[in-house]
Structure 1
Amino acid sequence: MRIISGDFGGRKIEPPGHMPHTRPTTDIAKSGLFNILQHNVELSGAVTLDLFGGTGAISYELASRGAASLTVVEKDPTMADFIRSTAEALGISGLTVLRVDVFQFLAGARNGALGAASGDAAARGGAADVATGGGGYDFIFAGPPYALGNIDDLPGLVTPLLKPEGMFVLEHTPRNSYKNEPLFRQERSYGTTVFSFFINRT
């Protein structure tokens, strides 16, 4: 796995050998995604949220392009630790990893705080901070497991967290379509990987 472009462009990252719950976005799909983003989102100084963080690859790309505040939500402790250590090795500042379930995080963001059941004090405090003090996100990415049963709930849960003109990108398979969702703007396909784009624009 490598970082495509920006300050850390060309850096190779070796993810853990055993990742039973993680499906990294392919380099081809990731390259296509960021080609679109560079013409549609001001990433320099952006406040970003990466849901189902996995290896953290999307957030490394965002940081490489100048994102100032990055929150990654990843409940798997091995992957959460990997993201933290990789960010430290790359010298990425402003990146926070919350080890908590994504839907629990989203419920906390809607209510202004995260419930105490996560078992991760840093996650509880961080979620409350981003939900009440951050003013929303410029860019949100979600790359959930393709077999996630409630993936169709994500647009409705995530888009309220966007700043005006903020963008949400949902990665999914061709089996899902979000063209009738409010704020949907476009869909791009890279083999079996599909990105749906939502913009908080009235």
Structure 2
Amino acid sequence: MRIISGNYKGKKILPPNDKSTRPLKDLTKESIFNIIKHSKLLNIDLENSNVLDLFSGIGSFGLECLSRGARRVTFLESYKEVLTVLKKNIDNLKQQNSSIIIEKDIFAENTLKALNNKFDIIFMDPPFKEKKLVDLLDTIIKLELLKDNGIIIIHRHKKEEDIFPNEFNIIIEKNYGISKIIFGKTLG
């Protein structure tokens, strides 16, 4: 695993210590960033953006954002086994000043409410079996965590049939191997 582009291109990212964490594959990550950069359907500038990386794991997505010029990434992860690796990856790239780590359960009542910030990009990479995505999206919409021109990116198993809130507009959906990437915006 590595950083694909930007200031830290080619730098290795430490993998998880156990098999229960599914890190974002480099090919999928590269596809996401190609769509962000080149799609005419998205109006997003990664440079100086504020990013929320939910279910961040080892930090692959958020660290790639920082390498490509994001101003700040908030990593939200509660799994203790992977938090150690996430912290090491942030330290190895010397990104402590551009990173915030929140070590809480994403579904706990006040976790997202405590963010008190708006984001240009919200990335969600939950376990493929996670069924409470609609609740999470409802909370994001209710708390208005996404900036007006911001995007939400969701990484899911390609066979998963999620139901999204009416206020979530899917802009792009692409399949990659066993997974799919959904790009969307909130309406409002």
For structure 1, the residue ranges without an aligned partner over 5 or more in a row are: 111-127
User: Are 2:66 and 1:49 aligned?
Assistant: no
Q: TM-score by structure 2 length?
A: 0.86
Return the alpha-carbon distance in structure 2 between the equivalents of residues 44 and 61 of structure 1.
12
> Which segment drifts farther, 48-57 or 10-19?
10-19
Aligned partners of 2:17 and 2:82 also within 8 Å:
no
**How far is the alpha carbon of 1:180 from its aligned partner?**
7.3
Superposed counterparts of 1:175-186, under 5 Å? 175-177=160-162, 181-182=166-167, 183-186=169-172
Structure 1 match to 2:93: 90
Identical pairs, percent: 30
**Given that residues 56 and 76 in structure 2 are in contact (C-alpha distance below 8 angstroms), is that contact kept between their aligned partners in structure 1?**
yes
Residue 102 of structure 1 is matched in structure 2 by 106
Query: TM-score, normalising length from structure 1?
Result: 0.80
Considering fraction of residues, name the structure with more helix: 1
Q: 4+ runs of 1 displaced by more than 6 Å?
A: none
- Cα-Cα RMSD: 1.9
CA shift in 2, pair 1:94/1:198, >3 Å = same
Structure 2 residue runs of 5 or longer lacking an equivalent are: none
Count, aligned residues: 179
1:44 Cα shift? 0.9
Aligned position for 2:146: 162
Where 1:30 maps in the other structure, the secondary structure is: helix
Aligned to 2:35: 36
* Distance in structure 2 (CA, Å) of the matches to 1:42 and 1:83: 25
User: Which position in structure 1 is the counterpart of 2:155?
Assistant: 171
